[in-house]
């Protein structure tokens, strides 16, 4: 009796292991089949490209978050950081008439400062990363709002002085936000971060710090330095996401980046389980974003109203978290 039970338990565990490893990929496959049968034009090339385009900004932001997760951190301020980058890059063009290089450089410089602030707070005050970045998330959101005076920044906007803004957004900049460049940028980011985390010494160190900070410290790994680098990378990639967002909509809406936070977290946590890695990883994050993208695009095609979409996305995140933590407790 007992032997039978334990054999059953073992089989159950093996099944869980299998689903843990391949569950995400299988789900994606099933969703594609499902939506393909339920809608007319899901299988078209245009639809596939649309999905990739729709997930590109989330994916870029989520890979940044993934790096912060790798060192055992959690950068909740990525959405706000994207908002700041978005506002800065568009304002550089519209308000200050700068060229594309200066615009992007200024925007990324802002993000580096944000990353530095996050890192210093988290490292020096030994506050839980998630709580600290929850606070800075609001601070940076406020910074973005204050900077734009709570208004949408776009070409020909009315300035506080009453004049129209004279600057224009460079045409080349707009290219960054359209197919194929937006997809190419996303894929390059995923590839680079994946290489960094999995194939370099620095990535290895980050995973070690995330796995056991004390042991990493006693192995002579400069823990604070790598946590700093992780937060800088996280802010930079979030900023890149915000810049691409600006290129996509050619304006800086109020709080445009913050809506990406939840999806980025979901993508990163779904990514833990992809191919059984059990760790935050860039490739898995990409797959997570694909899953969310297919789900939300498919549901839109099935005429599920946009305002019900958060229910689905939130549930997916809850499921991903449940699987990750259940696996960890085993």
Expressed in angstroms, the distance from the first to the final Cα of the chain is: 24
Q: Residue 292 in 3-state DSSP?
A: helix
Cα 29 from Cα 101, distance rounded (Å): 41
Core vs surface per residue 19-39: b (16+ CB within 10 A) or e: ebbebbeebbeebbeebeeeb
For position 215 contacting other proteins by CB under 8 A, the verdict is yes
CB of 86 to other proteins, least distance (A): 32
**Number of residues near other proteins (by CB under 8 A):** 21
**Nearer CB in complex with other proteins: 96/199:** 199
For position 110 contacting other proteins by CB under 8 A, the verdict is no
Pick the piece of the chain touching other proteins (CB under 8 A) from 111-119, 209-217, 249-257, 298-306.
209-217
Core vs surface per residue 145-165: b (16+ CB within 10 A) or e: bebbeeeebeeebeeeeeeeb
Q: Phi then psi for 239, rounded to 5 degrees?
A: -65, -40
For position 147 contacting other proteins by CB under 8 A, the verdict is no
For position 276 contacting other proteins by CB under 8 A, the verdict is no
CB of 220 to other proteins, least distance (A): 3
CB of 268 to other proteins, least distance (A): 17
Cα 285 from Cα 91, distance rounded (Å): 31
CB of 118 to other proteins, least distance (A): 22
Q: What is the CA radius of gyration of the chain?
A: 21
For position 21 contacting other proteins by CB under 8 A, the verdict is no
Which residue's structure tokens are 């460079």? 170
CB of 277 to other proteins, least distance (A): 11
For position 214 contacting other proteins by CB under 8 A, the verdict is yes
Among 44, 128, 204, 315, binds other proteins (CB under 8 A): 204
For position 197 contacting other proteins by CB under 8 A, the verdict is no
Burial of 217 per CB tally in 10 Å (0-12, 13-18, 19+): middle
Give the binding site for other proteins (CB under 8 A). 199-202, 204-205, 207-208, 211-212, 214-222, 278-279
């Amino acid at each position: 009796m007992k032997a039978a039970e334990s054999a059953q338990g073992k089989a159950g565990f093996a099944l869980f292991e299998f689903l843990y490893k391949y569950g995400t990929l299988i789900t994606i496959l099933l969703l594609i089949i499902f939506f393909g049968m339920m809608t007319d034009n899901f299988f078209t090339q245009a639809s596939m490209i649309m999905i990739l385009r729709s997930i590109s900004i989330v994916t870029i932001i989520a890979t940044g978050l993934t790096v912060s997760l790798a060192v055992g951190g959690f950068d909740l301020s990525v959405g706000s950081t994207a908002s700041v980058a978005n506002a800065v890059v568009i304002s550089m063009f519209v308000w200050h008439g700068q060229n594309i290089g200066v615009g992007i450089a200024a925007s990324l410089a802002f993000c580096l400062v944000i990353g530095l602030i996050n890192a210093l707070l988290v490292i020096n005050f030994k506050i839980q990363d998630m709580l600290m970045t929850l606070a800075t998330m609001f601070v940076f959101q406020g910074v973005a709002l204050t900077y734009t005076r709570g208004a949408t920044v776009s070409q020909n906007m009315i300035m506080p002085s009453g004049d129209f803004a004279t600057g224009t957004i460079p045409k080349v900049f707009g290219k960054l936000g359209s197919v194929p460049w937006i997809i190419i940028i996303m894929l390059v980011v995923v590839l680079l971060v994946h290489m960094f985390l999995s194939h370099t010494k620095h990535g290895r160190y980050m995973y070690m710090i995330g796995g056991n900070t004390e042991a990493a410290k006693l192995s002579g790994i400069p823990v604070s330095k790598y946590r700093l680098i992780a937060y800088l990378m996280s802010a930079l990639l979030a900023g890149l996401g915000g810049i691409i967002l600006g290129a996509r909509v050619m304006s800086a809406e109020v709080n445009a980046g913050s809506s990406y936070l939840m999806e980025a977290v979901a993508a990163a946590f779904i990514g833990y389980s992809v191919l059984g890695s059990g760790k935050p990883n860039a490739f898995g994050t990409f797959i997570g974003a694909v899953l969310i993208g297919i789900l939300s695009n498919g549901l839109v095609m099935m005429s599920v109203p946009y305002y019900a979409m958060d229910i689905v996305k939130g549930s997916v995140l809850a499921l991903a978290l449940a699987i990750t933590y259940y696996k960890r407790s085993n």
